[in-house]
Chain A
Amino acid sequence: MPAVAPGAIDCDLHPAVPNVKALLPYFDDHWRDMIVQRGVHELDSISYPNNAPMTARPDWKPETGKAGVDLDRLRVEALDGFQTSLAICNCLYGVQLLYTEDMAYAYARAVNDWMAAEWLDKEPRLRASIVIPPQNPVYAAAEIDRLAGDRRFVQVLMLVMDEMPLGRRRYWPIYKAAERHGLPIGIHAGSAYRHPVTPVGWPSYHAEDSAAQAQAFQTTLSSLMTEGVFAEFPELKVVLLESGFAWLPSHMWRLGKFWRGLRMEIPWVDRHPMEIAKDHVRLTINPRDVPPSADAVERLMNHFESDEMLLFSTDYPHWQFDGDDALPEGLSPALAQKICQDNPLATYPRLKETV
């Protein structure tokens, strides 16, 4: 198993909001009052049932309560455990799932301020993504502008399944703000559950919801490319978080084939989607859906035709691997080095300010 060399940058870990009470100090009076008055429940998404196997690795799971709520454990298990130099926190509290856009805006502000005070202020190795309310792209852009001055926020966070495919022009104010501040858009597995999680309706099992994320990332990438997001925002990078990555080359082959046949429909896409992906799309390494042999993994890596697209992640505290087996067999030492350090630094310009 390739070892993670000291100093790696972990691009996806998940500090969790323990409960809404922890957020109350970060709301204004009106919203604090609303939340208490109305008895608003915890915004825990059905994407990660609290006790489901993949939600918390057995040895990272506390006796009671949610995994990922304890800074000391995160330090020991995630940061010291992999000797990471920096780690990017993606808070998955279900802000994007709310139907009320001003409530979502209030929650996003509270989660971000909570993140800064409870995690970033206390642990210098941590960085974070800005949680936004995609329900209203104008509010979302305002939240990006509010926090962009804090250089510890290195990315904007969205969920892969929202009300509309993410390439739609409705979302462009978000991309404009992100590009303006040099922030990649991190697109994480998960859904606002406005639509069934498969194109053929709701599945029966949680396992299917998890598996369906990969198809959602595929259609989302199709949308971002065909709508012309990368033509309009040439500096923008998107990072696919907890997406799997093995599907990317074959999806680009198919999109590329139809692009050759149908480019008159989307004239702003002036080169092969694989070329666009190499410049603009990054993917985190866990979870990894790879073939069983190291030789096949090596062949799969060649299908990317690039050693710059993959970023190291543990996905802490989610259960994607055991022990320190954070990288798949079949990676060359040079590629492992790129994945663990060089590629994250190239993707997130703000990380360079501190290393």
Chain B
Amino acid sequence: MNVKTETRTSADVNQSAKLAIADCDIHPSPKSVEKEIYPYLEKRWQKHNETYGLLLRQPYQNGPAYPKGQPDASRRDAYPPEGGRPGSDVKFMGEHHLDVHNVQLGVLNPLKSGQGLQNVDFAAAYCRAVNDWQISHWTSQDARLKGSVCLPYEDAALSVAEIERRAGDPNYVQAFMLIRTSEPMGQRRYWPIYDACAAANLPLAVHAFGFGGSPSTSSGWPSYYIEDMVGHAQSAQAMVMSLVMEGVFERTPGLKIVVVEAGFAWLPPLAWRLDRIWEKNRDELPHVKRPPSEYIRDHIWLTTQPFEEPDRRSHLKDTMEWIGWDKLLFATDYPHWDFDDPARLPLPKVDDATRENFFLGNALDLYGLR
């Protein structure tokens, strides 16, 4: 994670990385909303967008609540030579990222997809358009790429309709939400989404960021971008806690959750904590039949970017063993500035099979692509 990046040719990296990998967090953008998204958006919503824009539960019309560390939060070498935002050109992404890092499976997680809009009808229309656009501009253009079904998740019925519309379509490997929901994710208003994901056999990825409206810390809004970024881990913990303590996994045993871009090393201490508290408060939680750590072990996957970097790799190895190596999915976050380079990842020493699964096999298994 640094502003400095190495630009390589595919020949360089085939020597250093060798392994074929899955990248479970790639962010595509449209070159132009008008040209690429509008064809899939009804006239009414095009006009709505022109008039009101994408109103989120945050202060600014354009741009994030916390200004990023650099423009578009992106690697400076990720701007396509033909113009447009980083991540907006399928051909350039293929050459600049997929080829050189030997990415066999790239999972697309669109961020400005209409998720978290105040107006849920607009959110549903926009998500649907973005889902169409993922096929026309990405998955149909490069077979290594797979899409995510963006959900207007603050409205369960609209989300279920979108899941059902896309179920069985091999262009998508998962459904997609953002972590900062307006209520904890385990609460009942979201349950139909989980049933629909399980029925469609789609894992549900939950990515950092979001616009639920609550302060991003339980003591109010922090001051800095770094707090916003680090804080995704705490939001993710709250999300996992809620899913477990509301009994969601008991109720929907087929649900698979992928935590994306929110770190992973926090998971074991959270599981130990929930186990202790569950044990003492079982009369309050009759619907949680097993220790929380067991639901977590069975139902939670995590992408690894931004990769944790303790001084000693043995500490990281402890952590990854506590989580379970089979639950970790490599991701780069291309084209963003905090990109994890697969050739430079400080991965603890493990046997070849574990390493291969970490970089590829776990993702193929999760998404049923073996």
Measured between alpha carbons, how far is A174 from B273 in the docked complex, in Å? 31
Please state if B225 and A214 are interface contacts (CB–CB under 8 Å): no
B269 within 8 A of A: yes
Of A208, A218, A302, the contact of B245 (CB 8 Å cutoff)? A208
- Write the nearest CB–CB distance from B228 to chain A, whole angstroms: 10
Task: Check B272–A199 contact: CB distance below 8 A.
Answer: no
Residues of A in contact with B (beta carbons under 8 Å apart): 52-54, 160-168, 191, 194-208, 210-212, 214-216, 218-220, 222-223, 226-227, 244, 246-247, 249-251, 253-262, 264-266, 274, 287-292, 296, 299-300, 302-303, 305, 319
Those 8 A-B pairs whose CB atoms lie nearest each other, nearest first: A250-B265, A198-B238, A289-B273, A219-B217, A246-B269, A215-B234, A207-B281, A289-B272
Complex interface bits, B233-249 against A, C-beta within 8 A gives 1, otherwise 0: 11101110110011000
> B295-335 CB contact bits vs A (8 Å, 1 = yes)?
00000000000111111000100110010000000000000
Bound-complex Cα distance A335 to B277 (A) = 26
B residues in contact with A205, CB < 8 Å: 245, 281, 284-285
The stretch of B13-21, B32-40, B175-183 in contact with A is B175-183
Partner of B225, one of A53, A250, A265: A265
- Is there a chain A Cβ closer than 8 Å to B367's Cβ? no
In the assembled complex, 20 residue pairs joining A and B whose CB atoms fall closer than 8 Å, in A order, are A53-B283, A160-B219, A168-B223, A194-B220, A196-B215, A204-B246, A205-B284, A205-B285, A208-B242, A219-B227, A219-B234, A220-B217, A227-B224, A247-B270, A249-B310, A254-B230, A260-B309, A261-B69, A261-B337, A262-B69
Question: Taking the complex as formed, is B276 at the interface, i.e. its CB lies under 8 A from any CB of chain A?
Answer: yes
Query: In whole angstroms, what is the CA distance A148 to B39 when docked?
Result: 70
**B interface majority secondary structure:** loop
B231: interface (CB < 8 Å): yes
- Residues A305 and B219 in contact, CB atoms below 8 Å apart: no
Cα A162 to Cα B220 in complex, Å, equals 8
Of B3, B179, B222, most A-chain CB atoms within 10 Å:
B222
Query: Does residue B51 face the partner (Cβ distance < 8 Å to A)?
Result: no
Contacts A195-B215, A201-B182, A249-B310 given; indicate if A296 touches B322 (C-beta within 8 A). Answer: yes
Q: Cβ of B199 < 8 Å from any Cβ of A?
A: no
Q: Compute how far the CA of A204 lies from the CA of B183 in the bound complex, rounded to whole angstroms.
A: 10
* Docked complex Cα distance between A164 and B263 (Å): 25
A167 to B226, CA, bound (A): 14
Which residues of B177-221 are within 8 A (CB) of A? 179-187, 212, 214-221
User: B344: CB under 8 A from chain A?
Assistant: no
Q: How far is the CA of A212 from the CA of B219 in the complex (A)?
A: 12
State which of B2, B223, B265, B322 has its C-beta within 8 Å of the C-beta of A291.
Answer: B322
A218 to B179, CA, bound (A): 17
CB < 8 Å: which of A191, A194, A211, A258 contacts B273? Answer: A211
**Chain A residue nearest to B292 in the complex (CB):** A211
Asked if B338 is at the interface (CB within 8 A of a chain A CB), the reply is yes
Q: Whole-angstrom distance from the CB of B295 to the nearest CB of chain A?
A: 14
Tell me which residues across on chain A come within 8 A of B44, comparing CB atoms.
none
- Among residues of A, the one whose C-beta sits closest to the C-beta of B231 is A219
Output the residue of B216, B217, B274, B306 with the most chain A CB within 10 A.
B217
Are A220 and B185 closer than 8 Å at their CB atoms? Answer: no
- Among residues of A, the one whose C-beta sits closest to the C-beta of B291 is A292
Contact status B216-A199, CB under 8 Å: yes
* CB contact between B226 and one of A166, A218, A259 (< 8 Å): that residue: A259
**Contact status A200-B214, CB under 8 Å:** yes
B43 interface residue (CB < 8 Å to A): no
**Contacting A265 at CB < 8 Å: which of B69, B234, B309, B315?**
B69
Distance (whole angstroms) from the CB of B317 to the closest CB of chain A: 9
Whether A289 pairs with B276 at a CB distance below 8 angstroms is: yes
- Residues A200 and B269 in contact in the complex (CB < 8 Å), given A164-B219, A219-B234, A265-B225: no
Q: Do A219 and B245 touch across chains, with their CB atoms under 8 A apart?
A: no
Chain B residues near A291: list those with CB within 8 A. Answer: 268, 272, 322
Tell whether, in the assembled complex, residue A254 and residue B308 are in contact, meaning their CB atoms are under 8 Å apart: yes
**B65 close to A (CB within 8 Å):** no
- Asked if A290 and B272 make an inter-chain contact with CB atoms under 8 angstroms apart, the answer reads yes
User: Which residue in B186, B214, B270, B274 is a CB contact (below 8 Å) of A199?
Assistant: B214
Distance between Cα atoms of A302 and B183 in the complex (Å) = 37
- Set of chain A residues within 8 Å of B224, measured between Cβ atoms: 226-227, 265-266
Minimal Cβ-Cβ distance residue in A for B322? A291
Q: Check B280 for interface membership: any CB of A closer than 8 A.
A: yes
Check B273 against A200 for contact (C-beta < 8 Å).
Answer: no
| B273 CB to nearest chain A CB (Å) | 4
Contact assessment for A254 and B69 in the assembled complex, using a CB-CB cutoff below 8 Å: no
Residues of A within 8 A of B231 (CB): 199, 219, 222
**Chain B residues whose C-beta falls within 8 Å of the C-beta of A214 in the assembled complex:** 237, 269-270, 273
Q: Which B residues touch A222, using CB under 8 A?
A: 222, 226-227, 230-231
Complex Cα distance, B279 from A287, in Å, reads 13
The answer, yes or no, to whether B157 is at the interface (CB within 8 Å) is no
- A254, B219: Cβ atoms under 8 Å? no
Task: Please state if A165 and B214 are interface contacts (CB–CB under 8 Å).
Answer: no
Residues of A within 8 A of B227 (CB): 165, 219, 222-223, 226
**Are A226 and B233 also in contact (CB < 8 A) when A52-B281, A207-B284 are?**
no
Q: Once the chains bind, are A165 and B217 in contact (CB under 8 Å)? A: yes
Task: Tell me whether A211 and B245 are in contact (CB under 8 A).
Answer: yes
A211, A227, A257: which contacts B1 (Cβ < 8 A)? Answer: A257
- Is A200 a contact of B184 with CB atoms below 8 Å? yes
Q: Is the CB of B266 within 8 A of A247?
A: yes
Q: Are A303 and B318 in contact (CB under 8 A)?
A: yes
How far, in angstroms, from A196 to B242 measured CA to CA in the complex?
Answer: 13
User: How many Å from the CB of A211 to the closest CB on chain B?
Assistant: 5
What are the residues of chain B within 8 A of A168 when measuring CB–CB? Answer: 223
CB–CB B219/A216 < 8 A: yes
B1 lies within 8 A of A260 (CB): yes
Additional A-B contact list (14), CB under 8 Å, known A200-B182, A206-B284, A261-B2: A198-B218, A200-B179, A202-B183, A204-B245, A208-B184, A226-B224, A246-B273, A247-B269, A250-B266, A251-B233, A254-B263, A257-B308, A261-B69, A265-B226
A299 CB to nearest B CB, Å: 5
Q: List residues of chain B with CB within 8 A of the CB of A191.
A: 218
- Chain A residues, Cβ within 8 Å of B126: none
B122 within 8 A of A: no
Question: How far is A274 from B268 in the complex, measured between Cα atoms in Å?
Answer: 19
A163 to B220, CA, bound (A): 6
Min CB distance B11 to A, Å, is: 29
A332 to B92, CA, bound (A): 56
Q: B278 in the interface, Cβ–Cβ < 8 Å?
A: yes
CB distance from A196 to the nearest CB of B (A): 5
Residue B229 CB within 8 A of the other chain:
yes
B270 & A53 in contact (Cβ 8 Å cutoff): no
